[in-house]
Copies of this chain bind each other. A is one copy, B any other.
């Protein structure tokens, strides 16, 4: 991939939009691209961080696993999204590992380029702050869900939230699960078996319709109500 192509991709990310072309070029100079094939580990827990990543296409999961080998997916990252910023700023080793769920193209933006950018451009700095804040916010949401909500409520919350993420889906009340059910279950902190049963129950109650990874919400109001209390 040419350097101008990297430049073009960067220029389209919210993080770098409004940045001067020569500033973007400076960042592009410190960006390397990398391919990850399905199943490939991009970094291991404990690895040192030298920058952050952007997913150009494909999908990755960030996860940790217990000594007994139980895996817990913390985050799913798709096209246009970034990951690894927080660890970069802290200068600590990665607390999670990253694995490609599909063949993916990533950009790696080096730490020095970012620190340089912050030095030069307060707008860029504010965007980094906004990005971290947003991630923090969604983590708080996860903690709330894990602490206060039952499995069923978490699944419903997930379906409703992902329905509204995508405007197209919102019309049709269609949700396309972005990964295997096992991975989604782990993301929601439930066993695959329980996830399967919850989907089954919601289907039986006439609230949703499941066909593979396609979930149709039949009655949004009732689904939301089923989640309450």
Contact = CB atoms under 8 A, between A and B. Distances in A.
Nearest to A62: B140
A210 to B, nearest CB: 25
B134 A90 contact: yes
Interface SS majority for chain A = helix
B126 A118 contact: yes
Contact of A130 (B74, B90, B133): B90
Interface stretch (A13-21, A26-34, A98-106, A143-151): A143-151
A139 B129 contact: no
A71 B218 CA distance: 33
For this chain, the copies found in one complex come to: 2
Given A125-B122, A133-B87, A133-B89, A144 B95 contact: yes
A68 B72 CA distance: 28
Contacts of A118: 122, 125-126, 129
A15 to B, nearest CB: 13
Interface of A: 64-68, 70, 72, 74, 85-90, 92, 95-96, 115, 118-119, 122, 125-126, 128-130, 132-137, 139-144, 146-149, 189, 228-229
